[in-house]
Amino acid sequence: MNFKKILKIFSGAFAGLLIMAINSANAFTACQVTDVGGVDDKSFNQTAWKGVQDAVAKHGVESKLLESKAETDYEPHLNSMVSAGCDIIVAVGFMMGEATKNAAEAYPDTKFTIIDFAYAETLANVKGQVSATDQAAFLAGYLSAGVSKTGMVGTFGGINIPPVTAFMDGFAWGVKHYNKVKGTNVQVLGWDPDARDGLFTNNFDSLDDGRAFAQNLYDEGADIVLPVAGPVGLGSASLAAELGSDKLKIIGVDADMTMTDPTRKEVYLTSILKHMDVTTLSVIEEVKSGNFSGGVIVGTLENNGVGLAPYHSLANVVSSELAAEVEELRKGIISGSIVMNK
């Protein structure tokens, strides 16, 4: 046994002790890396962060946050969270899919969870959180078709990616279902679920685009608009507030916009809810109790992972029959008696 070998063993043991010391000194830490929308986007970044904060309040864990300013921030932010010794890293958004996969493969001992992404092959240390938003959007589409006076409703998205278009799909199918049931011809502008193309701002941060796109849909006759572009939708809401909710109504996405954007609450007909705070919290709890496994957790109407917000200030334009029909529809989707894409 030469000197070098002894040194190696000692230094190895020392490093091990050091890591153990750090680990035991650190409390359980849940960390979040946001998408470019920022943590106050009144949308999915904020909802996921609420899940982390719920864990802080409920289990006394610690939390860390890094906000991405550009797509190039994803990997460095994830890496710095890894080196900060996080127990679970919450990556927000479909756009971070690639970066999270890379980080998870590079650091197999760190646990990740990613919002809005399900990997084709299961990674043992990543839990994807996806939502069957089309189910809730289907209800919103049916509701809008019933409320619209012009017989036209509109939607636009941020980028043509599955978590965005799931909303638009469900919305368009819901309108189609209404037409089938009622024999009407309500039209959807801005998305064609068969051609898989439509109206997109191609960004998630230019609020002015939200206003311009909603104006455009309004000019074409739509009196209800569903913006699926994070904070960009707030621009649409400000147009609706200026025009008046009798002329243009907005459907919120991800969070109940009546609560998150209270100054313009009168323009929101309803919101398509994604309860990622619920799924995020349950993933954190899984890690904490040691039951974490890689894979996917899906939020549905059934497990309350997605849903429709109350009608709040515009409840008066939703007739009681229509509200009852939407409730029936919800049960129908849960039981499987209603197939959405038909």
Residue ranges that bind other proteins, judged by CB under 8 A: 36, 38-41, 67, 69, 154, 160, 189-190, 192, 195, 197-200, 202-203, 205-213, 215-217, 219-220, 231, 234-235, 238, 242, 263
Task: CB nearer to other proteins: give 138 or 200.
Answer: 200
Least separation in angstroms between CB 200 and other proteins: 5
Report in angstroms the alpha-carbon separations of 286 from 88, 116, 281: 10, 18, 9
If we measure between CA atoms, which residue out of 307, 139, 168 comes closest to residue 227? Answer: 168
Task: CB nearer to other proteins: give 199 or 338.
Answer: 199
Task: CB nearer to other proteins: give 98 or 197.
Answer: 197
Residues β-bridged to residue 189: 154
Question: Residue 291 burial by CB count (10 A; 0-12/13-18/19+): exposed, middle or buried?
Answer: exposed
Question: Is residue 82 helix, strand or coil?
Answer: helix
If we measure between CA atoms, which residue out of 159, 262, 139, 251 comes closest to residue 205? Answer: 159
How is residue 184 written in tokens? 């009407």
Least separation in angstroms between CB 204 and other proteins: 10
Torsion angle, alpha carbons of 240, 196, 331, 323, to 10: 20
Least separation in angstroms between CB 265 and other proteins: 12
Least separation in angstroms between CB 262 and other proteins: 8
Least separation in angstroms between CB 286 and other proteins: 29
- Alpha-carbon 267 to chain mean position: 21
Task: CB nearer to other proteins: give 194 or 321.
Answer: 194
Residue 25: CB atoms within 10 A of its CB come to 8
Least separation in angstroms between CB 326 and other proteins: 27
How is residue 1 written in tokens? 């046994």
Question: Residue 184 burial by CB count (10 A; 0-12/13-18/19+): exposed, middle or buried?
Answer: middle
Least separation in angstroms between CB 216 and other proteins: 5
Task: CB nearer to other proteins: give 215 or 282.
Answer: 215
Task: CB nearer to other proteins: give 102 or 215.
Answer: 215
Report the C-alpha gap between 75 and 203 in whole angstroms: 20
Task: CB nearer to other proteins: give 123 or 199.
Answer: 199
Torsion angle, alpha carbons of 64, 120, 277, 279, to 10: -110
Task: CB nearer to other proteins: give 150 or 300.
Answer: 150
CA atoms within 13 A on the CB side of 100: 30
Report the C-alpha gap between 65 and 116 in whole angstroms: 18
Least separation in angstroms between CB 310 and other proteins: 21
